[in-house]
Structure 1
Amino acid sequence: MGRKKLERFADNAVRFNIVENGKEKFGKMAGKWRSEHFQNEHDLVVELGCGRGEYTTGLGEKFPDKNFVGVDIKGSRIWVGSSYAIAHNLDNIAFLRTQIEQIDAHFGEDEVSELWITFPDPRPKDKDEKRRLTAPRFMEMYKKLIAKDGWLKFKTDNTPLFDYTLELIETGQIKVKNLSHTHNLYESEFMDEHFGVKTKYEQLFYDKGEDIKYLKFQFA
């Protein structure tokens, strides 16, 4: 492991805005993010696969009256978002380092007001279907964590993954209400929901001419 990563991991180990294995709060925050970490009653917004945290920090800057938690397993990437939040005094932002398969151990039932899935690995092989972050087994997990009136929002450049997710909804494998979607976010009525924030990968795909797909719904 390179020295740069080791230095970042050492920083992460002592940062208040990072919850990870080995820290007292790890595995004990379900249902307690507002009361014990943010110490307020603001809505809790969670981004899965946050990477370097561009979306988490971008939304956190625009909505100081909401709490944001970015989730990723890559500690070196989370360090980037954590550093930005610290440098800009964004106390409404935190990061959780864990596998997404285990998020139900870290968030309580109905605790999340809004959940974002941003540009996940599309897992195109049939054998990897269960590993797609929009697969039914993950959706069942999200349903328990998202409040009854909360939203799930999904952005991707990958058409097969987007269409796969829509098919799950249309065939009733995922039961939702108030579904809205578009295959071209930047040319749609939902452009305002972009909030002027792009992840590194979103910018990369957009520059290559890829249309950005977007959907949102509430669980039925």
Structure 2
Amino acid sequence: MGRNKLARFKANEENRNVVQEGKGIFEHIKGNWRKEQFKNEQPIVVELACGRGEFTVGLAREYPEQNFIGVDIKGARIWKGSTIAIQEGLENVAFLRTQIELLDRFFAGKEINELWITFPDPRPRDGDEKKRLTSPRFLEMYKPLIQEEGWIHFKTDNTGLFDYTLDVLQGREDVTDLVYTHDFYSSDFRDDHHGIKTRYEAMFSAKGEKIKYLKFQFR
């Protein structure tokens, strides 16, 4: 393991805005994000597969009246967003280092106001369907964690994953207000993210890939 990665892991251990195994808060954060982490009663917005946290931090800048949590398992990536948030004095940002399939161990029912799924691994093989973050398995996990009328947003460059997700959502009776576009930056939804691009989104866009986007609510 390189020195830079070791230094970043060490910083994560010290940074208050990183919640990870080995910290006392990690074991009892479920249901206590506002009280224990943010010290306020503001709405909570969660980004899954947040990577370096560009989107989580970007939204936090735009909405100081909300709390933002990026979730990813890669500590060296989380370090980047964590460090920027600290440097900018953004107290409404936190990062949770865990596997996304364990999300319900860290959030209580209705604790999340809004959820973003941004450029996840498309898992194109049929045998990997259950690992897709928009599969029925994951949707069933998200549903009890989201407050009523809370939006779930999904962005990807991958047409196969996007079409799969649409098929799944359109086949569910508990999904409402589903809207979508196959060309985000030419749509009326482009202002939903205030021009904030992740590193991967910028890379895909530069290659001419159309960014797909949808949002919906559970009944």
- Output one character per residue of 1:144-168: Cα deviation in whole Å (capped at 9) or x when no partner: 1110121100000001100000001
1:47 alignment partner in structure 2:
47
- Output one character per residue of 1:10-52: Cα deviation in whole Å (capped at 9) or x when no partner: 1111110000000001131111111111111111000000000
Moved over 3 A (4+): none
1:102-141 equivalences under 5 Å are 102-141=102-141
1:143-158 equivalences under 5 Å are 143-158=143-158
Aligned length: 219
RMSD (Å) for aligned C-alpha atoms: 0.8
**5+ residue gaps, structure 2:** none
Q: Which whole-Å CA distance do the structure 1 matches of 2:182 and 2:27 have between them?
A: 37
1:194-213 equivalences under 5 Å are 194-213=193-212
2:175 alignment partner in structure 1:
176
Q: Which whole-Å CA distance do the structure 1 matches of 2:182 and 2:101 have between them?
A: 27
- Output one character per residue of 1:118-139: Cα deviation in whole Å (capped at 9) or x when no partner: 0000000000000000000100
**1:27–1:105: 8 Å Cα contact kept in structure 2?**
no
Q: Which whole-Å CA distance do the structure 1 matches of 2:171 and 2:145 have between them?
A: 23
Q: Provide the secondary structure at the position in 1 that maps to 2:150.
A: strand
**5+ residue gaps, structure 1:** none
Q: Which whole-Å CA distance do the structure 2 matches of 1:157 and 1:124 have between them?
A: 13
Deviation at 1:175, TM superposition (A): 2.5
TM value normalised by structure 1: 0.98
Q: Which whole-Å CA distance do the structure 2 matches of 1:27 and 1:123 have between them?
A: 30
**2:59–2:193: 8 Å Cα contact kept in structure 1?**
no
Q: Does 1:191 align with 2:190?
A: yes
Q: Which whole-Å CA distance do the structure 2 matches of 1:171 and 1:145 have between them?
A: 21
2:61 alignment partner in structure 1:
61
Q: Provide the secondary structure at the position in 2 that maps to 1:104.
A: helix
Q: Which whole-Å CA distance do the structure 1 matches of 2:45 and 2:131 have between them?
A: 23
1:95 alignment partner in structure 2:
95
TM value normalised by structure 2: 0.98
